[in-house]
Structure 1
Amino acid sequence: MYDKELVLDILKQTLEATEKITRRFEKINNVADFTNSEFGMERLDSICMLLIAIGESLKNIDKITKGELLKNYPEIDWKGTKGLRDIIAHQYFNVDAEEIFWVCEKHIPPLSETLQKMLSDLQ
């Protein structure tokens, strides 16, 4: 068995990160909103930092639970979500704003919903 309280804490922090991304993404309507202003670039940078934190948190959860928790929620591409962390962290100066826009638009809402479900299931 794994440390359930630790996993719950990490899940809460990860959910908070998705909520921050959602708030920071609200005023971004297209990729140009990221790339054509200092405001947009600051948003892009801050969202990328949160995506790194999310990926690292998910890696930690996988390690703590020996790969047993995330596999119970197949609606999320966990490997891709964790892999995004590596791409951003190691290729930071080559981050594709279009990809980050797409992730924010298409993947953060279902990730947030799944994290909420996981928290509810574990509590």
Structure 2
Amino acid sequence: MLQIENAILKIEERASSFHSADDFLKTPFGMAMLDAICMQFIAIGESLKGLDKITNNELLTTHPEIPWKRIKGLRDIVAHHYFEIDIDVIWWILSNELQPLKKAIISMLSDLSE
């Protein structure tokens, strides 16, 4: 789970200088950051799939407010349909779903360390 937290931190850092979905598309640097962010989404999805498997689908259910299935599905979309990615969807995820995911991961890490 530390890997997931680190991936979220990388996404936050890489997205911090952008203020809209279109900002990514304006420069080669923006496109490179989008690529880097998408790689981290792949890593998060893959890690979640592994966690779900080794915990017999029990750990993620402790935070039902998180759309785990959609997050794992994003990994598949980015990995297998990269040229079909909708930047507006990625921006929406960055703006609306990243912080709740981070909060849930930090909470789970805290619970596991107790």
Shorter-chain TM range is: over 0.9
User: Which residue number in structure 1 is paired with residue 93 of structure 2?
Assistant: 103
CA distance in 2, matches of 1:43, 1:105: 16
In the alignment, does 2:35 pair up with 1:38? no
The structure 1 segments of at least 4 consecutive aligned residues displaced by more than 6 Å after TM superposition are none
CA RMSD of aligned residues (A): 0.6
What's the offset of the Cα at 1:27?
A: 0.6
Q: Which amino acid aligns with 1:35?
A: L
1:6-60 Cα offsets, whole Å, 9 max, x none, are xxxxx00100000110111111101111111101101100000000000000000
User: Which residue number in structure 1 is paired with residue 15 of structure 2?
Assistant: 25
Pairs aligned (count)? 113
User: Which residue number in structure 2 is paired with residue 88 of structure 1?
Assistant: 78
User: Which residue number in structure 2 is paired with residue 4 of structure 1?
Assistant: none
- Consecutive unaligned residues in structure 1, runs of 5 or more: 1-10
CA distance in 2, matches of 1:107, 1:43: 18
TM-score of the pair, normalised by structure 2:
0.97
In the alignment, does 2:50 pair up with 1:56? no
SS of aligned partner of 2:57: coil
**Higher relative contact order, chain-length normalized (CA < 8 Å, sep 6+):** 1
Structure-to-structure mapping, 1:56-75, within 5 angstroms: 56-75=46-65
CA distance in 1, matches of 2:101, 2:64: 11
Q: Which amino acid aligns with 1:50?
A: Q
- Consecutive unaligned residues in structure 2, runs of 5 or more: none
